[in-house]
A and B are shown apart, each in its own frame.
Chain A
């Protein structure tokens, strides 16, 4: 296949236009929420639909920071999201390898069980879950919430990582074994490094899931000092559908910053093509 074939200019232009349109489609809600965070309440309730505020207002940010313990909630969210991410990755890595590589009845049963756990809606198990956590004295604790998040994200991350493991050629492991490496060494020095993109994707998924989760945190946490960010932000939605849109938008903008930092850090390691040419066909 000739990879040097030049793409015709009109096609390139169309590709970029399509990409630009897609980016705009994805980015517009974010731009809008940033714009709303700088608008006055009067402007937000007017018919004007400017992206650039008529008058730049910064009080939404001070209101968001002062009124709803946004910083301590952000700290709680960060603690929960990072812990969930790390534990989920540590647990997922060996489990997904076992599911992808080992053969036997236990594997089949494990796979079916993982699928089955995805069938139950959260609302159905929330009360039993609450009772279990209370028995373990883990209700109203961040540790309890982290363990619940890990449990809920594991099925998906296992399925995702299984695919990455399956893509690693067995020949690489065989080559390592033939050179005298133990199974553990093969895993640590050959397989796991090749799974890095999958691990990064898993880490991103678990971080975002835990960072954004609302319902479980709402029900399992009772004390305001433990509230995570989604709970705190929802406090801007009052009774009878009253919404304090400006402070809510400002809070939402601030809430995205830690996610962006984590993403920018992990995204650098999300490289593909590491297996290209590993095994001669």
Chain B
């Protein structure tokens, strides 16, 4: 009898569940379009995950919507994890949103496949002039601007000022700090209990590719499918210097080379490493999570033989070329690109705004505190990177570059073998 009741309950539950699910068609399923009153609705897929960022974006959208009753923007909140797979399915299935938030390294491939609209004509001259050319290069494909670059991260060295003082080292100031200086300070602060430097390079590809322009390391020439790789002295300079600090100077904690940046922060807070190189966004985490009285400072941008250059891989906002309202979507992006909006997003995400006006707002509002002065200084050296234009870069990065660098930084292979693996693994 009980089992009959259970079966009945189960059947009822299933019928109810089906009735519910059958009625639930998602609000984002139909794509953007025109409503009955003639108003256009644009779907804006945002990946921003921080509450303050979401608020800043919502405020900008609300402001646009109230000023433009005929063109309404609807935010579709998504996440970074799996965003590439989701987007490729959306584009292939014809359900991609009108406005797409992503990052340059990943969105360029979609542009090369012809999925993104050219924004060159739709963005105002002020908007274009507000962003340095080097950053525009990162989102320019076949002479078309395929995305608006919003915010980006750089790599910044942070130091425990007390440990530097104990070692008799003056905290570097000025416009930049050379790699030699970094190595010298790391050696000077290394003791029996403390490593001079901790560097979370468990997945080293992004760091190495970003810092390579400092020594003129391009890795690639050409664009699209016609790309050649060259791994010479300039390209090997960054990994070789890291390797040298770890295994010759013994001033860089080799364990940290297998960890993530966040893992190394624990050692930094615990005083077992005097300095750490991190993504600039970690400054916000340090401001929140560092133990009370922990005296940390951001050091000047790292300078190589070519200058304090880093590859720009900004977050981006693009327009779907198949959108029925490309013009309206581009106009919204031009509005969205205001200094105030981007400054709010940048501060919430602890990232560097690509536009100069937004950087000025951030500099004023933060007063350069909590490392912002040095972080904003790194923006001056952001340049376009050839790897962004190379078809197949993402796959090569995961299957060749990361494993080969891990072996090299784990002292398993020589730099010549590293160069051979990287070259042979391309194409």
Contact = CB atoms under 8 A, between A and B. Distances in A.
B18 A143 contact: yes
B92 interface: yes
A239 B80 contact: yes
Contact of A126 (B24, B49, B89): B89
B79 interface: yes
Interface stretch (B181-189, B214-222, B281-289, B384-392): B281-289
A123 B85 CA distance: 9
Contacts of A130: 89, 92-93
Interface in B9-68: 10, 13-14, 17-18, 20-22, 24-29, 47, 49-51
* Most chain B CB within a 10 A radius of its CB, from A44, A123, A223, A234: A223
A80 to B, nearest CB: 8
Interface residues of A, number: 47
* Most chain A CB within a 10 A radius of its CB, from B47, B89, B95: B89
Nearest to B200: A241
Contacts of B269: 45-47
Given A141-B26, A224-B77, A225-B27, A234 B82 contact: yes
Contacts of B138: none
Nearest to A86: B14
Contacts of A231: 79
Contact of B49 (A79, A87, A235, A241): A235
Nearest to A224: B77
Interface stretch (B157-165, B260-268, B365-373): B260-268
A210 B38 CA distance: 41
B79 A45 contact: no
A239 B349 contact: yes
B174 interface: no
B125 interface: no
A114 to B, nearest CB: 24
A130 B103 CA distance: 24
A236 B26 contact: no
Contacts of A86: 10, 13-14, 17
Contacts of A236: 49
B395 interface: no
B153 interface: yes
Contacts of A4: none
Nearest to A131: B93
Given A67-B51, A79-B20, A234-B79, A141 B261 contact: no
Interface in A210-267: 214-215, 218-219, 221-226, 231, 234-243
Contact of B26 (A46, A80, A219, A225): A225
Interface in A121-176: 123, 126-127, 130-131, 134, 137, 139-143, 146
B47 A127 contact: no
Nearest to A241: B260
Interface in B290-320: 290-291, 315
Contacts of A239: 47, 49, 80, 103, 315, 349
B347 interface: no
Contacts of A137: 25
Contact of B17 (A82, A134, A214): A82
Contact of B272 (A47, A67, A131, A146): A47
Nearest to B261: A241
A232 to B, nearest CB: 9
Contacts of A222: 26, 28-29, 76, 90, 95
Interface string B248-285: 00000000000011100111011010000001010001
Contacts of A209: none
Given A45-B289, A46-B291, A123-B85, A143 B26 contact: no
Contacts of B18: 83, 143
B274 to A, nearest CB: 15
Contacts of B80: 237-239
A116 interface: no
B241 interface: no
A136 B80 CA distance: 28
Interface residues of B, number: 54
Interface in A15-33: none
A41 interface: yes
Contact of B50 (A134, A238, A241): A238
A141 B265 contact: no
A143 B24 CA distance: 8
Interface in A179-235: 214-215, 218-219, 221-226, 231, 234-235
B81 interface: yes
Contact of B85 (A126, A146, A240): A126
A46 B349 contact: no
Contact of B270 (A47, A134, A143, A241): A47
* Most chain B CB within a 10 A radius of its CB, from A131, A134, A235: A235
Contacts of B17: 79, 82-83, 86
Nearest to B153: A240
B82 A140 contact: no
Given A143-B22, A238-B80, A239-B349, A134 B27 contact: no
Contacts of B85: 123, 126, 215, 218-219
B200 to A, nearest CB: 9
A74 to B, nearest CB: 14
Contacts of A221: 26
Nearest to A75: B20
A42 interface: yes
A222 B75 CA distance: 12
Interface of A: 41-42, 44-47, 67, 79-80, 82-83, 86-87, 123, 126-127, 130-131, 134, 137, 139-143, 146, 214-215, 218-219, 221-226, 231, 234-243
Given A146-B21, A218-B86, A238-B80, 16 more contacts: A47-B266, A47-B267, A47-B272, A127-B92, A130-B93, A134-B95, A139-B93, A141-B21, A142-B20, A219-B86, A219-B89, A222-B28, A223-B26, A231-B79, A234-B81, A239-B103
14 contacts: A46-B269, A67-B51, A79-B20, A82-B17, A87-B14, A131-B92, A139-B29, A141-B24, A218-B82, A219-B82, A219-B86, A222-B90, A238-B49, A242-B49
